[in-house]
Copies of this chain bind each other. A is one copy, B any other.
């Protein structure tokens, strides 16, 4: 007994074409092995005349994806248009309204309008799959929703943006500055002409918003996320991290604490000898902590036509098998507002790099300000300018700049920031703003 599943694909970029090719390649397998016969009956894209390297002659073409979503004889609509509003949203709404299940890779749409769309889907009794929206080919949503269904999750974090990880990996391996590697990433097509969305952490935050909702049963809320990009990371930070036994990664972290749920995106130091530290290049990783399972880490491609199509296909198989889930695990009406941890309440160890004027009393002031805020220091590394080597007769000129790296013990972030502000206010000590990077305990 073979079940037919009629699919509409809105958006024929690399992922859309990747999906069509996958459906062609695996058609016979799905049919004979699983009893599922998938048929692409309609597609929509901007330019009908473009050669996409695939035969679309017996597929209905729609210039308007909303009309495609509403057309007769369709079971599942795949939305691969992208964008948090506009035509992508209209297409998904139209599909749900017409009683079709939806599969989408659109993280921005879900992070902004996920709860409203989930409500609509639940009301209509259709499914809304978005495995491809978070960490590409890594099956993190299925894992959280089903495999870890017995767990109370306390933390989820990960490397969720391949562009940033590519840049940080290159900076680390080749000792090059941010701007330089960014330009290379742009030339390779890993970064957009306007890279802000990636390097500023916004893309990571979209994905984190969805992971937070799945982990804690709360409404995805992009605006609750503390955001810091990788633009200010320097080769000096990368090198100091290396010497201290760390790698710098842009992490998205959602964590339940005594003060509420922390959601933050920022560069973080992770122990060099951890599996996540070895996640390099454009690869993504998601780590989860559940009360029963303990720590789980999933590593894989976060983007690309094949990986994204693989994730879309997983959702299509669920839909074809009639396996339905509330999109955010809990019914949308029961998703609570995340009790947000107040800014600065994060507790952890920190790396602080300061460029200070090398004068008598400077260290005393710095240590005094830290002590006043109860920030205790695990280590202090003072680095003289390279020209002044130990054992030579030269001594640093008083008043010259010197680099100071501090590692704190576990401390409240707001206290550390007050201590730094006090140092800055103590007159002519710091030559430039301090660099503060969280050290993430894995």
Contacts and interface: CB of A to CB of B under 8 A. Distances in A.
Contact of A146 (B26, B142, B279, B293): B142
Given A22-B150, A147-B139, A301 B310 contact: no
Contact of A306 (B22, B292, B298, B309): B292
Interface in A130-155: 131, 137-139, 142-143, 146-152
A187 interface: no
Nearest to A314: B147
A309 to B, nearest CB: 6
Interface string A287-331: 000111111111111001011011101101110010100000111
Contacts of A146: 139, 142, 314, 317-318
Contacts of A321: 323
Interface stretch (A257-265, A269-277, A418-426): A269-277
A394 interface: no
Contact of A148 (B29, B293, B310, B318): B310
A330 to B, nearest CB: 5
Contacts of A175: none
A278 interface: yes
Contacts of A306: 291-294
Nearest to A38: B150
Nearest to A279: B275
A148 B152 contact: no
A36 B91 CA distance: 33
Interface of A is mostly: mixed
Contact of A310 (B22, B280, B292): B292
Q: Place the interface of chain A in its size category.
A: 35 or more
Given A22-B292, A217-B33, A311-B147, A299 B301 contact: no
B299 A294 contact: no
Contact of A150 (B148, B280, B285, B317): B317
A214 to B, nearest CB: 12
A432 interface: no
Q: Which of A22, A151, A316 has the most CB of B within 10 A?
A: A151
A143 B139 CA distance: 7
A334 interface: yes
Nearest to A138: B296
Given A278-B278, A300-B297, A307-B294, A314 B149 contact: yes
Nearest to A151: B310
A119 to B, nearest CB: 16
Contacts of A26: 150, 152
Nearest to A139: B147
Given A22-B150, A147-B311, A314-B149, A297 B296 contact: no
A361 B316 CA distance: 65
A310 B295 CA distance: 12
The 5 residue pairs across chains A and B that have the minimum distance between CB atoms: A150-B313, A139-B147, A293-B310, A292-B310, A137-B293
Interface of A: 18, 22, 25-26, 29, 33-34, 131, 137-139, 142-143, 146-152, 217, 273-280, 285, 290-301, 304, 306-307, 309-311, 313-314, 316-318, 321, 323, 329-331, 334
18 contacts: A26-B150, A26-B152, A137-B292, A139-B147, A142-B142, A142-B143, A143-B143, A143-B147, A147-B310, A273-B280, A291-B306, A293-B307, A293-B310, A294-B301, A294-B304, A296-B301, A298-B299, A299-B299
